[in-house]
Amino acid sequence: MVNRWIRRFGLFLVLSVLVIGILAEPDAPSAEAATRYTAYVTANSVRVHTGAGVRYRSVGTYYKYHKMTIKGSRGNWKQITYGGHTRYVWGPSIKAGSPRIRSYIIPGSAWMRTGPGLKYGRVRYAYQNYYVTIYSRLGNWYHVNYRGTFGYVWAGNVKEGTPAFSSYNGYINAAKLYLRTDPRLVYKKIQALYKNNKVTVIGRSGNWLRLKIGSKTGYAWGQGISKGNPPVTPASYAPTTGNYGLDISHYQNDANKGNIDFNQVKASGYSFIIVKASEGQTGHDPYFGYNTKNAIGAGLKVDAYHFFHAADQNSARKEADNFASSLKAAGYNASNFGYVFLDVETTNSVDKETLADNANAFFDQLKNVYGFNKLGIYSNLYFFNNSIDFNRVTQAQTQPQRFLIWLSRYRGSETNLGPGANFNVDIWQYTNSGTVNGIVGDVDHNISYFNTNGL
């Protein structure tokens, strides 16, 4: 009887020790000393257990990319703190470090929020195919970074990897388009794009295309972009005799981060460039100095033009002063520069006789005050015949150097027939949609029939 009691008591002691051990084990210190480190879940999910084994009770679940601090190890199990207690997760489902997972937004509403839930404030909207980087996960929300902005996005709107898209070459088919930071008109403009600018299409977000232009990327409205290369003016549409040249302004610079390769222009067979210098009483083309210096350096003959706004003779003289000021700032004067042209394309709300007198006041100021004698006027055929007293201008120009007429007229398939004007033309701008090596996008093409004094 006594022996039976002793045996039962001994069994009780053994069981008590085991139970106490099991109860104490979850909060016990790690059996393997380890330095604390950050890790994250690599499996789709991982269970949190009270002890180092599946036989221990599961008290929670962590999902892929959830970050945690590892305090130690028991075999293949990692020790963490969960709900204020020491708990364990399966080691092979954990990886040291922090996730940096390249991902993108899939269709659906995807607001980035300040916290992991709908109750948190909105940071910004994330559009379809936006690239984001996953940094961690809390519940069903990813903590992501989009171009330096952090926020939380519902996990169902994010997919790992990059969206399936085959990049292709394209060009701008609209007169002007803006590259923007994001696919909506409200977002910041990165740069202006002009007709026939070449681009690389690298993605899509709804009706917007993601473009790469040089080192810049952004979004532009898809309907303004065509696949392939921009059309080239057929050779048969070009004039057959004369010297070829271009006229440019900051628009051509803007299309390629300010750059124009004038050596390529020269190598393509062009001999002269007419560069915009100024506009109105105060406007200065910011690239005039750069363009003239580099064009001259490439062996091109260089001339300049001013866009006219004057509605009276006093304003016209002030515009001439502004033109001369732009030339002087770039290091040019009457003795070291070619022809200077007045670009007259608007009536400035005056009749044709007054507009002619204003133009003559502009020319007189250049001649009498600054010594310029190589002068010319630019406009289109309709304007010359209907909006300005053409003879009133030309008859007043009696300086020794020939007064040049620069005509803009686009004749399409009849280009090879010549300008077709009812007066003599010295320079003919025969297209505004030409292309040339060294310049991104459209550029005006000209032919000069006058072959001395700078052209």
Q: What is the DSSP string of 339-389?
A: -EEEE----TTS-HHHHHHHHHHHHHHHHHHH----EEEEEEHHHHHHTS-
Q: How far apart are CA 131 and CA 113, in angstroms?
A: 16
Write down the pLDDT at residue 78: 95
pLDDT band at 163 (very low <50, low <70, confident <90, very high): confident
Q: Closest Cα to residue 303, out of 248, 358, 380?
A: 248
When mean pLDDT is compared across 1-10, 24-33, 185-194, the lowest value belongs to 24-33
When mean pLDDT is compared across 5-9, 11-15, 142-146, 412-416, the lowest value belongs to 11-15
Q: How far apart are CA 448 and CA 427, in angstroms?
A: 4
Buried b (16+ CB within 10 A) or exposed e, 170-185: bbbbeeebbbbebbee
Cα-only R_g, the chain: 37
Q: How far apart are CA 46 and CA 35, in angstroms?
A: 22
Residue 233 has pLDDT above 60, yes or no: no
Query: Is 295 in contact with 262 (CB distance < 8 Å)?
Result: yes
Q: Which CATH superfamily is domain 235-448 in?
A: Glycosidases (3.20.20.80)
Q: Which CATH superfamily is domain 168-227 in?
A: SH3 Domains (2.30.30.40)
Q: CA 228, 230, 233, 236: dihedral to nearest 10 degrees?
A: -10
pLDDT band at 192 (very low <50, low <70, confident <90, very high): confident
How high is the mean pLDDT of the chain?
88
375-380/404-408 β-pairing: parallel
Write down the pLDDT at residue 337: 96
Q: Closest Cα to residue 275, out of 265, 256, 289, 261?
A: 289
Residue 343 has pLDDT above 90, yes or no: yes
Say which CATH architecture domain 101-160 belongs to: Roll (2.30)
Q: Is the pTM of this model over 0.85?
A: no
Percentage of the chain surpassing pLDDT 90? 66
Q: Closest Cα to residue 168, out of 144, 194, 124, 204?
A: 204
Q: How far apart are CA 231 and CA 237, in angstroms?
A: 13
pLDDT 10s digits, 250-303: 999 998 889 999 999 999 889 999 999 999 999 999 999 999 999 999 999 999
Q: How far apart are CA 21 and CA 403, in angstroms?
A: 107
Mean pLDDT of 6-30: 47
pLDDT band at 433 (very low <50, low <70, confident <90, very high): confident
Helix 313-329, helix 352-370: angle, nearest 10:
40
- CA distances from residue 379 to 108, 344, 376, 407 in whole angstroms, order as listed: 53, 6, 10, 6
Helices in 28-162 by DSSP H: which ranges? none
Residue with tokens 């994001």: 182
Residue 3 has pLDDT above 60, yes or no: no
Q: Quick check: do 101-160 and 168-227 share a fold?
A: yes
Q: What angle do CA 359, 360, 366 make, to 5 degrees?
A: 95
pLDDT band at 441 (very low <50, low <70, confident <90, very high): confident
Mean pLDDT of 201-226: 89
Mean pLDDT of 126-145: 89
- Domain boundaries in the chain? 26-96, 101-160, 168-227, 235-448
Beta-carbon contacts of 186 under 8 Å, excluding residues fewer than 6 positions away, are none
Residue 437 has pLDDT above 50, yes or no: yes
When mean pLDDT is compared across 132-136, 232-236, 243-247, the lowest value belongs to 232-236
Residue 199 has pLDDT above 60, yes or no: yes
Which tokens in the block code for residue 395?
A: 């008859």
CATH topology of domain 26-96: SH3 type barrels. (2.30.30)
pLDDT 10s digits, 74-103: 999 999 999 999 999 999 999 999 999 989
Query: Is 173 in contact with 104 (CB distance < 8 Å)?
Result: no
